Structure 1
Amino acid sequence: MALQIHPYCTEFEERVKQLSHKAWILFKYNKDYEHQKMSCVFNEEDQLISVGYLRHGLADDHDVFEVEMPVNELAANRMNEVIEALFPIFLNTCQQLRRPNKKAKLVAWDDFTADQELSEKMGFSPFQTYFLAQCPLGQSMPDIREPDGVHVKFHPMDTRKERIEYTELENQFYKGILYRSVNMLEWMMGGPELHTISAFEGDELVGSVMCWQTGAVERLFVIPRWRNKGLGKYLIAKSFEYHLKNGRNNAETLVNEQNKVAMKLLESMGYHFPVRLELKSLDIAAAN
């Protein structure tokens, strides 16, 4: 008997919550997911073993759909079956949600493309390489001065207007799989901890970085006219300071291997790059 696939519904809520808390709260509280369905994968004993859904990102000339496929121990020996069951659903979802007249890519990390023969059969090919950069935090902070002409401070983004302005600027630097909507930002702000540190020239936002309770230092950006003035280093130093005050001794971030400037900056701040992550993609043809 084959695996059974059913759309997410309230009847499955508790089982989805046990399998993937992230998936459960995304579909319950994030407005980005109101227009698509999670696919729930059940085995022959009617046990939930996986859920599948897509995260929709926007690049300049194409849509990006990132595969999310949490599983539990019951799927451990059936990964290819789960993937083959979800794959046509993902393709159909891409067609339904893509912007008109835009190309589309389905992208997936190793949990979906680990079986090279299967991923090639589905049409996936290497796309991008990332590093999970890590930095041990000592008790002494880097001696980096705030650049003249800017003021760096905690940025709570209390109003929706602020959140929209922030997201629009941030997405000039993070597109595709790293794209983030206002809905996603607001969902994240409703979590246990998101601490945003931003730089302002007068009232203008010119750079920012975000910190998570996991020790993450992410979404660093500096507008072009403020680059090469030490602002990026200062923002990272302030994020280190924040994490140290909260009892953390390691920081980490995700960086694209092709972004040599960012890698050089992170290395100068004490990061190393022990974990390499491969992302594969599949071009989605327009429906006839």
Structure 2
Amino acid sequence: MPNSIAGTYIIRNYRDPDADQISNIDFITMLAYRYNGDYEPRNIFCAVDSEGTILGVGHIVPDPAWLAIEAGGKSDDFVYKLKLDIFLNEEISVPESLPHDLYDHLLSRAKDLRARHRGKCVRISHTIPAVDKKEMDFYISKGFDTHRTHLVMKRDLTKEIPDFPLPEGLIVKRWGMETQAEEEQYLAAEAKGDLFGVSWSLNYLRWTKNGEEWNTFTVFNGNDVAGSVMTWGLGEGRSATENIFVLPEWRRKGIAKAVITEALKFLKAKGKTEATLGVFGDNGKAISLYESLGYRMLAVMLEFGLDI
């Protein structure tokens, strides 16, 4: 249902000229719509009033776990996820029905995508800060429940960063991934190093590469990737240290400590005072590793989901 009237607004699919208004609602989302090919107009819905003002916007976008659905090879109970997000124009008093109508359109679109994959376990997911009870109430009212805890940790870069040597024969490179072959090599390594055997899409990788202050620190054994950490800017003084992985055959050799601290030292030299990362709350080994490197708790995010 690409167009429908609901009270004083219509809900329709995204159009390129909408980006200017959406930038005032959520700037990062606008950038994703413009420059990340994973965000398709048919999966984005805008609520627009009679004067053309966008009152709210929402989208369905593939999670890395969705990207494996065509390739196969996963267990029968593997959960393929689509991420759902809704943003309201906070400068305007919007009708109470609006988020519900946007949600209904998004759910319908998710079910269309799901219908192509009978026999698969498909879930729509949305991640919410643990302090945002109002947003939790909205998704709980739609039948969502919690499926995973995400911890956000921070590292004070004004404090000392220790040295951790790499095993002999390995080196760390700031890897620009300048060709598609290199990008695909990175994504293949990420999938091998991931707990669930999935990676970002090529679209998402390229979008992230174009972001402010992006860098990737990758450990190589010859021409082969052994582990990696990615960084990008999060405003003045703060950067992300994300997409941390080590391939199974290289684990328990100190590679994660070495490459993470290499990235932290780089950020500190650039004048950053804090680095953050996200980690699943049930990944005890990773949490212990990050704490040993000086990361401390910053926030908790809850992943809500609805099986469809």
Q: Could you state the TM-score of these two structures normalised by the residue count of structure 2?
A: 0.83
Alignment of 1:49-60 (within 5 A): 49-59=55-65, 60=74
Give the counterpart of 1:71 among 55, 80, 88: 88
Q: State the distance in 2 between where 1:92 and 1:175 align.
A: 30
Aligned partners of 2:228 and 2:259 also within 8 Å: yes
Helix, strand or coil at the partner of 1:157: coil
Helix, strand or coil at the partner of 2:208: helix
Deviation at 1:188, TM superposition (A): 1.4
Aligned partners of 2:58 and 2:85 also within 8 Å: yes
1:171 aligned partner: 191
Deviation at 1:93, TM superposition (A): 1.9
Aligned partners of 2:45 and 2:106 also within 8 Å: no
Deviation at 1:208, TM superposition (A): 0.3
Per-residue deviation, residues 213-244 of structure 1 (Å, max 9, x unmatched): 12100000001121111110011101111111
1:255 aligned partner: 279
1:188 aligned partner: 208
Aligned partners of 1:57 and 1:175 also within 8 Å: no
- Which one-letter code corresponds to 2:13 in the other structure? P
| Comparing 58-67 and 197-206, the one that deviates more | 58-67
Q: State the distance in 1 between where 2:195 and 2:46 align.
A: 29
Q: State the distance in 1 between where 2:166 and 2:251 align.
A: 13
Unmatched 5+ stretches in structure 2: 1-6, 66-73
| Structure (1 or 2) with the greater helix fraction | 1
Alignment of 1:143-222 (within 5 A): 143-174=163-194, 179-214=199-234, 215-222=239-246
Aligned partners of 1:58 and 1:175 also within 8 Å: no
1:18 aligned partner: 24
Q: How many residues align?
A: 282
Deviation at 1:203, TM superposition (A): 1.1
Helix, strand or coil at the partner of 1:236: helix
Q: State the distance in 1 between where 2:16 and 2:222 align.
A: 48
Alignment of 1:1-288 (within 5 A): 1-34=7-40, 36-43=42-49, 46-59=52-65, 60=74, 61-74=78-91, 81-98=97-114, 100-101=117-118, 102-110=120-128, 114-138=134-158, 140-174=160-194, 179-214=199-234, 215-284=239-308
- Which one-letter code corresponds to 2:207 in the other structure? W
Per-residue deviation, residues 182-220 of structure 1 (Å, max 9, x unmatched): 111012112222100000111110100001112100000
Helix, strand or coil at the partner of 2:88: coil
Deviation at 1:113, TM superposition (A): 7.5
- Which one-letter code corresponds to 2:89 in the other structure? N
Deviation at 1:44, TM superposition (A): 6.6
Deviation at 1:32, TM superposition (A): 1.9
- Which one-letter code corresponds to 2:16 in the other structure? T
| Comparing 145-154 and 215-224, the one that deviates more | 145-154
Deviation at 1:74, TM superposition (A): 3.3
Aligned partners of 1:94 and 1:104 also within 8 Å: no
Deviation at 1:135, TM superposition (A): 1.0
Aligned partners of 1:171 and 1:179 also within 8 Å: yes
Helix, strand or coil at the partner of 1:277: strand
Given the superposition, is the C-alpha separation of residues 12 and 227 from structure 1 closer, same or farther in structure 2, using an over 3 Å criterion? same
- Which one-letter code corresponds to 1:212 in the other structure? W
Helix, strand or coil at the partner of 2:61: strand
Unmatched 5+ stretches in structure 1: none
C-alpha RMSD of the superposition: 2.5
Deviation at 1:4, TM superposition (A): 2.8
Divergent runs of 4+, >6 A: none
Aligned partners of 2:163 and 2:258 also within 8 Å: no
Deviation at 1:144, TM superposition (A): 1.5
Given the superposition, is the C-alpha separation of residues 253 and 174 from structure 1 closer, same or farther in structure 2, using an over 3 Å criterion? same
Helix, strand or coil at the partner of 2:97: helix
